[in-house]
Amino acid sequence: MRLFGLIGFPLSHSFSKGFFAEKFQREGITDCRYENFPIPSIDQFQALWNDHPELEGMNVTIPYKQEVIPFLHHFSDAAKAIGAVNCIRRRDNELTGHNTDVIGFSRSLQPLLQPQHTKALILGAGGAAKAVKYALQRLGISYTEVSRKYFDGTIGYDAVNETVMREHTLIVNTTPLGMYPNVTEAPPIPYEFITDRHLLYDLIYNPAETLFMKKGAERGASVKNGHEMLILQAEASWEIWNA
């Protein structure tokens, strides 16, 4: 029996286990199982592999996407550039780290892109933003990062004016603002300058329509949540484990 799993802590609201259980049943895959491994410390990481010799691949979620890096032998280009891993493959007892958030985001965004979407505003500067930046670079889309805290190359929300909004017709929310249960929150940008030329992409998938998306749709913009990205990054993990 091939074994795959998810590490993180806690894992009470994991998407992955349910997704793979349904996938295995739907596709008649009877020689695989997927388990949650809620480890309270990354110190237990190596023992987990030792205790499960049949474990071939693993997804990684908060808080271990960066903490697993010292335990790995190889990295994909994306994982190396982003500095975060959410998918691991074991082959010949060596572990390779991947970042499938990049794949999921790219594959869900590409069908929505129009000729005017050449500049993006990335709201937030955390780990998810790093994956988005890498994906946009690969797609040839320039970006400006907006953050509450000032880093090199970022601007503050107070700098997002009419000119910035008109120039950046793709807006990606990588912050948790608007995520359930705080559904009345939204990133503080001037929504009155959004037009039907804009595409608003929210990495949040619960609720299905965030206030950020609703405000954009009211102004005629195209909107997208992060649910398809989540599915596509999980499918990308499966591709990696079976390559």
How do the pLDDT tens digits run along the chain, 243 residues long?
999 999 999 997 789 999 999 999 999 999 999 999 999 999 999 999 999 999 999 999 989 999 999 999 999 999 999 999 999 999 999 999 999 999 999 999 999 999 999 999 999 988 889 999 999 999 999 999 999 987 778 999 999 999 999 999 999 999 999 999 999 999 999 999 999 999 999 999 999 999 999 999 999 999 999 999 999 999 999 999 999
User: Helix 16-26 vs helix 227-241: angle between axes, to the nearest 10 degrees?
Assistant: 60
Per-residue confidence (pLDDT) for residue 150, from 0 to 100: 75
Distance CA 175, CA 172 (A): 9
Residue that has been written with the tokens 């069908």 in this structure: 111
Query: Choosing from 17, 65, 215, 224, which is the catalytic residue?
Result: 65
Per-residue confidence (pLDDT) for residue 153, from 0 to 100: 83
CATH superfamily of 2-98: Leucine Dehydrogenase, chain A, domain 1 (3.40.50.10860)
The dotted CATH code for 103-229 is: 3.40.50.720
Per-residue confidence (pLDDT) for residue 225, from 0 to 100: 98
Annotated active-site residue 65? The verdict is yes
Please choose, from the candidates 110, 128, 112, 105, the residue with its C-alpha nearest in 3D space to the C-alpha of residue 198.
112
Q: What stretch(es) of the chain map to CATH 3.40.50.10860?
A: 2-98
Q: What stretch(es) of the chain map to CATH 3.40.50.720?
A: 103-229
